[in-house]
């Protein structure tokens, strides 16, 4: 069941990527070439530099952000990069160049921050600025947003819930004659840059995603062989096939490819500790790796 859901997600992501980018099989090289034609060589060179600087287990997310920026720039034009926002926010070009943190996305990487920004701007252009913000971690529909002064029954109010994500709150009259609202979950939608970011990450997977000019190849760097053997054996004991786990892991590319094949997010809860362990193995964090190996060994 979980494998079917994972494949359904990849199929939908590949469909969206083809619609948005015209790619049958997403690759880092194709993405960078297309982005260069739209964003310009200088911006894409800086984006590639940031992607190279990220941990290998995060590289796919950085490239997915570039996919969002590509589609967003197609929609909003290159001038989006050059325009500051009333002195409160610098121009995106400056953010890219200096790695400036911008509210409300300060917990994201530079590329993720820019992708969220352009996804929101594209959503505002498509549906107007949101009148309210809500958190969809709760699926309670009633009275989740503050109504504007001019609210009337039947009016739809655009609500933001995520970067580039919108849905409508429908104003209704309650039995006590007060006005309230219900979130219309059927109206949930994402801007095209947000769709591109999600789709590229799912369709392309964790990698390996080699980038032009990398010497030495970061995916060819060796990993701790003893720790790798423990994690590889755990992978097989907990339900991954030999084909998914692959042969013994000796370099970072071996581990990244195995992480992509096993679909760990669709498995049972103990796989989260495994994910943290293999990330520590790939990203070279000995303290985290030791702690995760201890956690895995202590589990039943």
How open is the CA angle 66-69-73, to the nearest 5 degrees? 145
Q: What is the pLDDT along the chain (300 residues), one digit of tens a residue?
A: 355 555 677 778 788 788 777 777 789 999 999 999 999 999 999 999 999 999 999 999 999 999 999 999 999 999 999 998 766 789 999 999 999 888 888 899 999 999 999 999 999 999 999 998 998 887 788 888 888 888 899 999 999 999 999 999 999 998 787 898 899 999 999 999 999 999 999 889 999 999 998 999 999 999 999 999 999 999 999 999 999 999 999 999 999 999 999 989 888 888 999 999 999 999 999 999 999 999 888 776
Q: What is the pLDDT of residues 166-191, one digit of tens each?
A: 999 999 998 787 898 899 999 999 99
Query: What one-character DSSP code corresponds to residue 108?
Result: S
How open is the CA angle 55-200-238, to the nearest 5 degrees? 65
**The pTM is what?**
0.90
Across-strand partners of 142?
182
Q: What is the pLDDT of residues 43-102, one digit of tens each?
A: 999 999 999 999 999 999 999 999 999 999 999 999 999 998 766 789 999 999 999 888
């Amino acid at each position: 069941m979980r494998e079917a859901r994972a494949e359904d997600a990849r199929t939908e992501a590949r469909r969206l990527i083809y619609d948005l980018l015209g790619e049958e099989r997403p690759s880092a090289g194709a993405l960078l070439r297309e982005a260069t034609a739209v964003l310009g060589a200088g911006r894409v060179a800086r984006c590639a530099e940031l992607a190279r600087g990220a941990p290998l287990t995060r590289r796919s997310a950085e490239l997915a952000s570039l996919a969002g920026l590509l589609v967003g720039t197609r929609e909003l034009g290159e001038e989006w990069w050059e325009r500051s926002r009333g002195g409160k926010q610098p121009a995106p070009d400056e953010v890219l160049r200096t790695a400036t943190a911008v509210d409300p996305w300060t917990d994201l990487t530079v590329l993720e921050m820019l992708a969220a920004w352009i996804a929101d701007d594209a959503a505002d252009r498509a549906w107007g600025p949101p009148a309210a913000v809500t958190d969809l971690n709760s699926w309670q529909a009633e009275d989740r947003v503050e109504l504007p002064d001019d609210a009337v029954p039947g009016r739809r109010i655009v609500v933001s819930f995520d970067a580039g994500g919108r849905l409508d709150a429908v104003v209704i009259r309650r039995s006590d004659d007060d006005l309230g609202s219900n979130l219309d979950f059927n109206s949930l939608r994402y801007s095209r840059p947000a769709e591109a970011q999600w789709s590229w990450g799912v369709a392309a997977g964790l990698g390996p995603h080699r980038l032009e000019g990398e010497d030495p190849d970061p995916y060819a760097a060796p990993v701790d062989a003893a720790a790798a053997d423990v994690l590889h054996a755990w992978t097989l004991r907990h339900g991954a096939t030999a084909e998914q786990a692959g042969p013994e892991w000796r370099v970072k590319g071996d581990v990244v490819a195995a992480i992509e094949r096993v679909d760990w997010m669709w498995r049972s809860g103990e796989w989260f500790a495994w994910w943290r362990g293999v990330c520590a193995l790939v990203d070279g964090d000995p303290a985290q790796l030791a702690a995760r190996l201890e956690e895995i060994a202590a589990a039943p």
